[in-house]
Every structure is written in C-alpha cells, then in structure tokens.
Structure 1
Amino acid sequence: MEMSFDKKRALIQSLREKKPEYADILGFYERISELQSATSPRLYMKLPSAEKRVIEIQEREGFPLISRDQFTIDIPAATTLFESLCHVAKHSNEKMRETIESLEEALSINALRKEDLMKRFADEEYLDSVSRTFELDRTITRFLIHMSVYPSLRAHAEMLKDRMDMKKWLRGYCPICGSPPAISQLRDEGHRFYLCSFCGFAWPGERLKCPFCENTDHAKLHYFYAEDDEAHRADLCDNCNQYIKTVDTRKLDYEPDLELEDIVTIHLDILASEKGYKRPAPSPWGL
C-alpha cells in the first residue's frame, strides 16, 4: 500500500535530520510528492478487458500484462501536474531552470503541446527528437514528463495487480509493464520485493538471484554497504556487472518508502559505479 503523504512528510523530516547531506534533494522530492499526491484522487481509468486464458499464458511464459505505451494516462490531470512541477523545478537548480525555460518558450509559440508530451510519454524516439529540436536536457525533460504521468501509471498498475498471481511471478522484471526494478527490499523473514522503476509497482522476487541476468551462482553474487549502515546495501552481480540497491527493513526502526530510500542511498550508486557496476534503471533523482 502506498504511504500517505502526511506520513511521507514526517519520514522526510526524520531523514533530513539523520542524513543532512540529502536535505536539498529531499526537500525537492517532498514538493513533487505533495503535488503528485494531490493529483492521484482525481484520476479515473477504464480497465481493459482480458481473457483469463491469455493472462495465464502471460504468467506462465513470463510476459508482462501490458507494455509501457499501453498505460492509460489521465491527460488533463497529467498536464496540470506538469505545469506545477515545472514551476517548482525551475527554482531547484540552474540546469533545471534553463531546460524548463526552453520548454516554456516552445510551448508558448505552439511549437510543442503539453498534451502531446503526456500522450507520448513512453515514446523514446519522440523524446529524443524533442530534446534535439529544442536543445533540451533529455534527462530533465524525461524526468518532468515521467513525474507528471506517474500518478496515472501507479493507479493503472494498482487496477491490474489482481489479474495475475504475483506469488508465481518471481521474475526480475515488473509483471505489470516489464520494466527493471529501481530498488529492492528485504521484509519479514528475508523475503525480497522489487519496486518497478517505471510504474512504481512492488512485487516479490527470489532473494539469491540477480534480477537482471538471473544468475544464481553465489560465488558471483555479493554486496557491500557503507558507513556501517547495514540496512542499506548494493547487491552486485559479477556475471552481468550490474547491481541493485537493497533495503533490509528488518534493520530499520521505521517503515521505509522505497522511493525515499532510493534518494538517500545515492552514495551507494556512486560507490557501485566506481567499482565498475552499472544500474540498469538509472535513478531519476541523480540529476
């Protein structure tokens, strides 16, 4: 279940005190999260029909329920959120300001339409073209669009989750949209759960297995943590040279929000990169 914004705000304040080096980015996340939480209640989706037999085949063969471009987006809500996010992000840093001002200029002369940006959120070629044509920072542009449609993605994923038996999935990619995980979590008796880097859906996975190449050779699977913080670590795979960060909730004295945990462990991303490992789903917060 998604954490309420009031609870998330209290957690952000606590993390600011524990990790002052992340105070600025946590403040930025708080403003964005508040805008997103205000958008979610206004979303409305139509759930597409699907045959049980087809879903059983998808589950057995490892096909996700939908592809990224099949998500239903509440365009008016996403467009309104985009406008609010641009206003907030413009004041976060110089690079954001420059990109957003260029975006606003293109929108003001109708060279771009906000509705098109929202509708084509999953079209990477379109995003590349827009970024080149208007000399926009691609990472920032993608971030703004993704954050704008994110409430719709989460809402749609929530509506689809009961169509598949998630306990039988146990794969390293999202059962909803097929995207790689952003971060993982160890709960209860060490059961692992992944958080989708695209739609924010959480699903169970195998603990001693690389989610990216399915390596189970324990000699090639290891991890490290930093600054005596055993609750946060980077799980490394020497077979594919990729990694995923993991939060061991059994070693925390609070209920974590994985999006927040991804932010306050950016130092692990830096250390893993320095060791030569890659993150398949780049953090949207490493701007």
Structure 2
Amino acid sequence: MTMTKQLTLKEKWLQDRPFLEEIARFHEVIETILDQVPFKVEKMKNLDAAKDEFNRGIPVLKCEHVTVPIFEQACQALKALTSLADYKEVPEPFRASCSSLGKVMEQDEAFIRAVIHSLMNEDYQTLGEIIEKHQLNEGIIWFLGWTALSYVLQPHLSELQQWERQQSWNREYCPTCGALPNMAQLKRSNKGRKRHLICGCCRSQWLYKRMGCPYCKNEDPNLLRIMEINEEEDIRVDVCNSCNSYIKVYTNKGEEEAALLDWMTLHLDLLLKERGYVKMGTHLINI
C-alpha cells in the first residue's frame, strides 16, 4: 500500500506557488540554524510596571520599567546566522556578506551587542554608523538582526500580546517593537470582521480600526480601495492613493502559518511595485 505524505501548510502553499521555491530553501536553512541555537526562555518581569509608558505610546521593548529577556539570546542567534556563509542554498552575495559579518564579530566583541541594542531601541543613527564603520551591507544586517530578534521573541509573544490587548493599544505601529505593519488579517468576531495588523519585524499582531491607511492615517473612502488578486483567493491588497502605499491582507483563517509570512507573498509586492505603489510597512526583504 502506498502511503501519501501529509503536506504541511507551508508545503501546500509552496506547492501552489513553485516560483517561491528558491527563497523557501533559503528560509529553511535559516530555521535549521536557529533551531540549533541553545537558549533558555526566561520569564518576563514587571510588565504591569510599564503601563504608564505603554499607554503613552511607548512599545514594550523600549519601556524602561520592564525587561523582556531576549538580548543575550538574540546576540547568540545573530552570531549563529553568520554560518549562512557556508550553505550553497544561500545566494552568493548574501554568503559573502555573512562571511564579512562573521569576521567583524571576531575582531570586535562589542559589535554584535551594539547591533542588537540599536535595533531593539530603534536607534538607527547608531546602527548606520556601526555599519558604515565596518563597511557592511545595511539591508543584510537589518534582515539578520531582526530575524534573530524575532526568533528569540516568539516564546514570549503570547504573553506579551495578551497583556497588550488588555491595555487597548490602537496605534498604527507595533505595540511590542514599534515597527510599522507589513501585513494584516481580517478575523471574524461577534461584530463582524475586525482588522489585525502584523508587525514587519517581530510578527506581533494587534487590533486596528477596520477603515483607514495605517501609514498616513487617511480615511477618505475616495482615496482608499481594495485590489483583488485573481491568483490569490484569500489574499487581497488594500491600497491608499493618498500616500501611494499598500498592505497585504489575509481574509481567511487556517493558513496563517504561511499566509502571514511576508516572503510567502513577495510576488504580490513585485506586482504592486510594477503598478507604482510603495511598500511602506517595515519589512526585512527589499523588493
């Protein structure tokens, strides 16, 4: 008797979109590397002590009165990711940049901590100075740094998001790290479908008003429109003709594991770019 392999959600998604196979192999290597990084998940402390700061609009990772214990783990993860230089599945320019990054880390012990600290605190001026000093690729440092941070933050996200919802965060930027969203999902509720934004860096989710551009706050219905994609039954694109931006929206449920990963819909970013729209959400992969 022949046994049929049960495809995972990601495998099914990729089977229907074979043009994503190359970038999928790249992300599989990243997952393999990060899964081998040993780190202990420490309990968060004093979340409630951050209420005043948080309610003033300060994201959790930047609140002075709470510590999310991910800094050391993120440094370990970022260091591990330099081994991407050793994998043939990784594009050659990326491998070369990872090799250069690894050498810098060996020569400058403070470098890796400075990168993670700058990303967590949105100190992009310092980050730019560090990158320029060592003549590294800014896009790759950004990608690797946030890939590391997002990975070590995942065990804390459920607790963080539950607390953030209790505080009724309703701003357009991420309540956890402060980045702008790059995707959204419509979720059913007793009062109809509600829009949840998804962070482009740490993958946090938060409730946001159904109508309106999360980038320029435009609410003029004459300047907002929905773009349906023939090839993507459960993904639509909300565009804003005020700031010329767009956000990809997953309109179903059950395939979040694949549908809410930005790189799984890169073909839509290319399509929108051809049509003159700008990807304004914070994202790790430049198109």
TM-score range, shorter chain: 0.7 to 0.9
**Alpha-carbon distance in 2 for matches of 1:52, 1:115:** 24
Q: Which residue of 2 aligns with 1:273?
A: 273
In the alignment, the residues of structure 2 paired with residue 162 and residue 217 of structure 1 have an alpha-carbon distance, to the nearest angstrom, of: 32
Counterpart Cα distance in 2 of 1:40 and 1:156: 16
Deviates more, 1:18-27 or 1:267-276: 267-276
Moved more, 238-247 or 160-169: 160-169
Query: Is 1:66 paired with 2:69?
Result: no
Matches within 5 A, 1:229-248: 229-248=232-251
1:88 aligns with 2:84: yes
1:212 to 179, 203, 215: 215
Aligned equivalents of 1:67 and 1:79: distance in 2? 16
Aligned to 1:77: 73
State the alpha-carbon separation in 2 of the partners of residues 129 and 53 from structure 1: 33
Equivalent position of 1:13 in the other structure: 11
Q: Secondary structure at the match of 2:255?
A: coil
TM-score, length-normalised on structure 2?
Answer: 0.80
Contact between 2:85 and 2:96, CA under 8 Å: does it hold in 1? no
Give the whole-Å Cα distance in 1 for the aligned partners of 2:164 and 2:103: 45
- 5+ residue gaps, structure 1, are 1-6
The correspondence of residues 73-152 of structure 1 with structure 2, limited to 5 A, is 73-88=69-84, 90-91=86-87, 92-110=90-108, 113-122=111-120, 123-152=123-152
1:182 equivalent in alignment to 2:185: no
Call closer, same or farther: CA 1:259–1:179 in 2, change over 3 Å: farther
Deviation at residue 222 of structure 1 after TM alignment: 0.7
Superposition RMSD on alpha carbons, in Å?
3.1
Shift of 1:164: 4.0
Matching of residue 199 in structure 1 with residue 202 in structure 2: yes
How many residue pairs get matched?
Answer: 273
- The alignment partner of 2:98 has SS state of helix
Indicate conservation of the 8 Å contact 1:166/1:204, yes or no.
no
Instruction: Answer yes or no: is the 8 Å Cα contact 1:90–1:100 preserved in 2.
Output: no
Unaligned runs of 5+ in 2: 1-5
The Cα shift of 1:48 comes to 2.8
Could you tell me which amino acid in structure 2 is paired with residue 163 of structure 1?
Answer: W
1:36-77 CA-partner distances (Å, limit 9, x unpaired): 45659722144235458727xx54x6x144354866353443
- C-alpha displacement at 1:20, in angstroms? 0.6
The answer on whether the counterparts of 2:182 and 2:198 sit within 8 Å (CA) in structure 1 is: yes
Kept in 1, the 8 Å contact 2:184–2:195? The answer is yes
Report the CA distance shift for 1:247/1:89 in structure 2 as closer, same or farther (over 3 A).
farther
**1:235, distance to aligned residue in structure 2 (A):** 0.8
Amino acid at match of 2:60: I
SS at match of 2:140: helix
CA change 1:169–1:268 in 2 (3 A) is same
Instruction: Identify if the C-alpha distance between structure 1 residues 89 and 121 changes in structure 2 by more than 3 Å, giving closer, same or farther.
Output: farther
8 Å contact kept, 1:185–1:192: yes
Residue of structure 2 equivalent to 1:3: none
Residues in 1 aligned to 2:215 and 2:161: alpha-carbon distance in whole angstroms: 22
**Aligned-pair identity (%):** 23
The offset of 1:277, in angstroms, is 2.2
Q: Which moved more, 1:226-235 or 1:154-163?
A: 154-163
SS of 2:236's equivalent in the other structure is: strand
